[in-house]
Amino acid sequence: MKTFVFRSVFFVLALSFVALLKAEDLGAVRGRMDQRLAQVDALKAQGAVGENNRGFLEVRGAGGDAGAVVAAENKDREIVYAALAQKTGSSSDKVGRARARQIAQHSRSGVWVQDEAGNWKK
């Protein structure tokens, strides 16, 4: 009986720790994305990157360190989309595509966006 209680308490504590770790990870992701936002916006304004129809950035032209910024941003977006998918019972792909529609609707004029059919436009 003592073993069962100990294991149960340990299991609950482990789950709590995992939930806390995930919350901290998402906080760190949010921080990185916030720090990168000015770079992302500048690259979009230059036409060096665009928003694809899956909710990720794509390199569209020359832009210095665009590749590194895009890779870092997309990695963090993947984490966010996976967390939202798990929370809502959806898939990461559906979350990303829904986010892509939001981004396209609120993008500044002159920014590359990809429509649902895969066509790029400004």
CA separation for the pair 94, 82 (Å, rounded): 10
pLDDT of residue 23: 58
Cross-sheet strand order for the sheet of 112-114: 57-59, 49-51, 112-114, 120-121
CA angle 33, 41, 113 (to 5 degrees): 105
pLDDT of residue 3: 46
Which of these ranges, 13-22, 51-60, 72-81, has the smallest mean pLDDT? 13-22
Residue at token pair 């939202």: 84
